[in-house]
């Protein structure tokens, strides 16, 4: 309506005057206005309908404005909006129980945070106190958050302006079959070589100094490159042998995104700590946390944990988590994510890869897929350089938006990361738009 468009214009004007945005050069930044979203649809400031293929920052796993979750937040707001973290609260207790029940193995305790980055910070703190060691291993081509330690753990170029040099982080090369750092030509070779590299690095750094190894179960923003068979089991084995706490970062991959409750469940691996956020309540109210093994919990049974947050286990956020997990179970949303990956997204993306010479590789699981765009399939030269954008990629993204899709793009990749309950017909419509946008990408292919 005209009133909505007017409200959007005022919001945009005030935003440009007063809001400081994440990760951006503030001047040239041209944000899109969104005042309305429902399910897998969002409407921009001019009233255009877009299919949300991004789940925002890959967090609205149950789509926008799920009625059961909205109602639970409203009900909790009417009952008790907030309470200090030292008290028992029913919403918090129920949420902790549900997360512990879903988490693998003996991860039976939950420390709640405000989001993913602080979950990562606390997981490392727990590991350092538990082991009495300081160094932390983390992969290149990873993302772990924007706070001081989390951004130093991060293995993408956003770390570099924040590099503190004293964070105790050692980066290692991940298993990434499509762009192997080890010259591997098969997945088995990649697994073997990447694991040998990791263990060599740990031995060279002194295992007795290494507190933790943090790894995304399936790296997300860095490219949804699913670890090859045997890699996660190998990482678990190496960390166990050297007494290193293994932290699986499930902030993006968790809560059904990959077609299982946690992505680590694709392998027979139980980490010592799991970090989560985003999908735990689809981000309706900020929430993250660390699921903690019995052994690490024991370290803090008699010894005070030196850390806390005013909003740890916030009732509104926890009530949203309880309702989200409930809705996901009642509506078979995780099973649906697995079905969409196996029967719709995977097959359709493989068809697009066969048809479009600009597609280097498609890969993923559940509702968690990457389309890697290249100028040349043989050299695999990316359509935008690692760490940057390019006019070519910008045109592909613009074509997707013009086709009515809100995409998640990173460097030379388009990620297909819809809500896990996106209706099939909307998903197919979005994949049609992707097909047309890939025609644009094909125009940049060089021999
Ligand atoms: N870890 C992973 C794997 C993530 O994908 C993210 C966010 O994208 C984070 C941590 C940081 O979470 P937050 O932005 O909630 O601090």
For 53-99, the pLDDT digits (tens) are: 999 999 999 999 999 999 999 999 999 999 999 999 999 999 999 99
Q: What separation in Å is there between the alpha carbon of 376 and the centre of ligand 1?
A: 32
Of 300, 308, 311, 237, residue with least CA distance to 271: 237
Name the DSSP class of 373: E
pLDDT above 90 (res 164): no
Q: 272-299, pLDDT tens digit by residue?
A: 999 999 999 999 999 999 999 999 999 9
Q: Could you give the domains of the chain?
A: 32-65+332-442 (3.90.1150.10), 67-330 (3.40.640.10)
**132 contacts: CB under 8 Å, gap ≥ 6:** 211
pLDDT of residue 447: 81
Distance from C-alpha of 23 to C-alpha of 66, rounded to nearest angstrom = 29
Q: Which two tokens stand for residue 338?
A: 């697995």
The pLDDT, as a whole number, for residue 1 is 86
Residue nearest to atom 7 of ligand 1 (CA): 145
- Per-position DSSP letters for 132-169, written without gaps between them: S--EEEEESS----SSHHHHHH--SGGGGGG--S-S-E
CA of residue 159 to ligand 1 center, whole Å? 14
- What would the mean pLDDT of 11-34 be, rounded to a whole number? 96
ipTM score assigned to the predicted complex: 0.99
pLDDT digits (tens, 9 = 90+) for 33-59: 999 999 999 999 999 999 999 999 999
- Measure 249 CA to ligand 1 centroid, in angstroms: 9
Share of the chain above pLDDT 90, in %: 99
What's the whole-model pTM score? Answer: 0.98
The minimum-distance atom of ligand 1 relative to the CA of 116 is: 12
Question: Is the Cβ atom of 221 under 6 angstroms away from ligand 1?
Answer: yes
Over range 324-341, report the average pLDDT. Answer: 98
Mean pLDDT of 359-377: 98
Q: Which atom of ligand 1 is nearest to the CA of 252?
A: 5
Ligand 1 site, residue 259, Cβ cutoff 6 A: no
Ligand 1 center to 117 CA (angstroms): 6
Ligand 1 centroid from CA 61, angstroms: 14
- How far apart CA 414 and CA 185 sit, in angstroms, is 24
Q: How are strands ordered across the β-sheet holding 288-293?
A: 107-113, 288-293, 273-276, 245-249, 210-216, 135-139, 169-172
Q: Is 143 in the pocket of ligand 1 (CB under 6 A)?
A: yes
What's the pLDDT score for residue 166?
Answer: 92
């Amino acid at each position: 309506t005209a009133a909505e468009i007017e409200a959007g214009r005022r919001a945009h004007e005030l935003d440009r005057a007063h809001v400081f945005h994440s990760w951006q050069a503030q001047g040239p930044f041209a944000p899109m206005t969104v005042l309305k979203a429902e399910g897998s649809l969002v409407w921009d400031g001019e009233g255009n309908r877009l299919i949300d293929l991004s789940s925002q920052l890959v967090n609205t796993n149950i789509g926008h404005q799920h009625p059961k979750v909205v109602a639970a937040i409203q009900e909790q707001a009417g009952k008790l909006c907030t309470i200090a973290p030292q008290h028992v609260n029913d919403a918090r207790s129920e949420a902790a129980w549900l997360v512990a029940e879903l988490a693998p193995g003996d991860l039976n305790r939950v420390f709640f945070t405000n989001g993913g980055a602080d979950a990562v910070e606390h997981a490392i703190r727990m590991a350092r106190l538990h082991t009495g060691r300081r160094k932390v291993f983390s992969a290149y081509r990873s993302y772990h958050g924007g706070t001081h330690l989390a951004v130093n753990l991060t293995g993408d170029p956003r770390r570099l302006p924040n590099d503190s040099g004293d964070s105790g982080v050692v980066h290692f090369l991940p298993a990434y079959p499509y762009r192997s750092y080890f010259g591997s030509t098969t997945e088995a070779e990649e697994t073997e070589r990447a694991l040998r590299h990791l263990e060599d690095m740990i031995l060279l750094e002194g295992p007795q100094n290494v507190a933790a190894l943090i790894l995304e179960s399936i790296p997300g923003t860095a490219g949804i490159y699913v670890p090859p068979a045997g890699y996660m089991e190998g990482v678990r084995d190496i960390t166990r042998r050297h007494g290193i706490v293994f932290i699986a970062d499930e902030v993006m991959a968790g809560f059904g995104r990959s077609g299982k409750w946690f992505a680590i469940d694709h392998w027979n691996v139980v980490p010592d700590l799991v970090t989560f956020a985003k999908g735990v309540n689809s981000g309706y109210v900020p929430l993250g946390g660390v699921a903690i093994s019995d052994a690490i919990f024991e370290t803090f049974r008699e010894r005070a944990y030196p850390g806390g947050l005013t909003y740890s286990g916030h009732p509104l956020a926890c009530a949203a988590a309880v309702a989200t997990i409930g809705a996901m179970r009642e509506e078979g949303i995780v099973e649906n994510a697995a079905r969409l990956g196996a029967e719709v997204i995977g097959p359709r993306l493989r068809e697009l890869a066969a048809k479009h010479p600009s597609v280097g590789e498609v890969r993923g699981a559940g509702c968690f897929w990457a389309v890697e765009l290249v100028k040349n399939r043989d050299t695999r030269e990316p359509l935008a350089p690692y760490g940057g954008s390019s006019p070519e990629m910008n045109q592909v993204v613009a074509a997707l938006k013009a086709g009515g899709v809100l995409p998640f793009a990173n460097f030379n990749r388009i990620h297909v990361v819809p809500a896990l309950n996106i209706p099939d017909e909307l998903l197919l419509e979005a994949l049609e738009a992707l097909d047309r946008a890939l025609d644009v990408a094909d125009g940049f292919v060089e021999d």
